[in-house]
Amino acid sequence: MKEAVPERPRWDLAAESIVVKIRWFGVIMGYVLVQTRTGLQNPSAVRAFLALGAGYAALDFAFWRLGEVFLKRLPLFVSFMESIFIALLCYHDTGLASPFRWYYLLSLICCAIRYQPAVAWWTLGFHSISLLSLAWSLGFSTPTGSAWPLTLVIMAWVTWASSSLAGLLKAAGDQLQDLNSELVRVRAELEERVAERTDALRTSQARMIQQEKMAAFGLLAAGIAHEVGNPLAALSSLVQILKRRGPDPYTSEKLDLAGRQLHRIERTIRELIDFSRPASRAITRTRVCEVVDEALGIAKYYQRTKQRRISTDIPTNLPSVLVVRDYLTQVVLNLVLNAIDATDDQGRIHLRARIEDGSMELSVEDDGRGISLADRCRLFQPFFTTKPHGTGLGLFVSRQILEEFSATLTFCSEPGRGSTFTIRLPWEAALSPTVTGVSDGDRAGPAPAADDREPERTGRGNPVAALPSA
């Protein structure tokens, strides 16, 4: 998730915090000057004007605390009123020699910090007129009247210096904010890329875990088949030897029953060996009905399968699809096993295949407990499971496998009424003359004996309850 770029700080409020301090400094110093000096023309008037200035400074402070600037849209009006205010302070103090004339400089600095340079130069004009008016009213020929030219020069220099410095600070602040925004954006992109790489690494780890698990199962299954196969061959030979001796009818019947059961064990071991062999990665023309038969042939050995009613509706005339057959078998097997675990005893599981909107749709439907709303968003995440002893990799790996050959895996579910998982496979590509790997039928295992052949599983509602189970 990308981090939001922080809002730019308001320059006017930052400048106002400085201006408020300057104003209060001026008010406090004014009271100090009144109390520590003598010879003022009208001390009471000076104190009254300082009280007025303190009230203005208090309003300015209150608006700043509220996040606003007092009289923000009337900067020239404020400058004009300050010009009159400072001139009256100097007039009632000691004239042009009054230390209050330096308030002109404080006013210019505040204006340069808060506003554009043009406003600062306009303020200089107001203050110059104010100073000249004060000098004219007191008389240019007085001993203190000669101080106004130097004061004007200092005021002009302070206006230029303050405006230039404020402009540099504002430009530096804007540049720093732009760099900060760029840094936040780059950090968000970096975090997103790290998250993507982490997800990819987690995906690879999950698939590696599943592959290692299947490889270990294959080794175990092959070892079990080898260990069971040797004594099984010996038992089969003994049964055949005993049958050749012409035993009585009762013994012959029991030997026939033992032979059929041994043949059933042999077929189970053969299927176990076929399932445990290394998976082929060749893309082949594959018939969906054969994949479903193979997956159900493996699922029948799951202990809970015999308490379920499994039916299929897989037309045999459906076109072939180009997939890795072993991978598709694993996906269908995962969906069937999940459906078995999601249903109770005598639960119904139905597999159906059809052509829909240019795709081959294979759905696995069950009438189990369904998927809760809280679990749907995490259903295909690695290591997420609701089973007590699940790994949380089945659906995740199944979707990853299907995406490798442009297929999709979706689901719909209603809590308490079951779920339907749908595989959509592109089948137009099956008409392509160039196909890698082997052709149809190369993967078909040896056919079971006539007396042990499973019942046909085509047509809706045809249960697979009669499948031989371990």
The per-residue pLDDT for range 387-445, each reduced to its tens digit, is 766 666 778 778 878 887 788 888 888 888 889 999 988 865 433 333 333 333 333 33
Each as own residue / partner, the long-range contacts of residues 23-31 (CB below 8 Å, 24 or more positions apart, any chain) are: 23/53, 23/56, 23/57, 23/60, 23/106, 23/110, 24/57, 24/61, 25/106, 26/53, 26/57, 26/103, 26/106, 27/53, 27/54, 27/57, 30/89, 30/100
Report the run of H or E that residue 142 belongs to, with start and end: none
Which residue stretches of 306-448 are H helix?
A: 325-342, 373-376, 394-404
Look at residue 350 in the predicted model and tell me its pLDDT. Answer: 93
The three-point CA angle 107-110-114 to 5° equals 140
In terms of pLDDT, which residue wins out, 267 or 433? 267
- The pLDDT, as a whole number, for residue 143 is 55
Q: In the prediction, which pLDDT does 3 show?
A: 47
Mean pLDDT over 197-214 rounds to 70
pLDDT value, residue 216: 56
Region 260-271 average pLDDT: 74
pLDDT at 39 (0 to 100): 79
**Considering only CA atoms, which of 109, 200, 196, 202 is closest in space to residue 158?**
109
Domain chopping of the chain, boundaries: 11-183, 280-452
Q: pLDDT tens for residues 58-78?
A: 988 888 888 888 888 888 898
Q: What's the rounded Cα separation, in Å, for the pair 3 and 67?
A: 26
* pLDDT for position 15: 80
pLDDT-derived band at 457 (thresholds 50, 70, 90) equals very low
Q: Tell me: pLDDT of 14 over 70.
A: yes
Is the pLDDT at 151 greater than 80? The verdict is yes
**Which residues does 330 contact at the CB level (< 8 Å), separation at least 6?**
279, 397, 398, 401
Mean pLDDT in residue range 108-127 = 89
Higher-confidence position of 137 and 278: 137
Helix (H), strand (E) at residue 153:
helix 148-244
97 or 10, higher pLDDT: 97
DSSP bridge partners of 420: 365, 412
The architecture in CATH of the region 280-452 reads 2-Layer Sandwich (3.30)
Give this prediction's pTM: 0.44
The pLDDT tens digits of the residues spanning 16-64 come to 888 888 888 888 998 898 888 887 888 888 888 889 888 988 988 888 8
Q: What is the mean pLDDT of residues 136-143?
A: 69
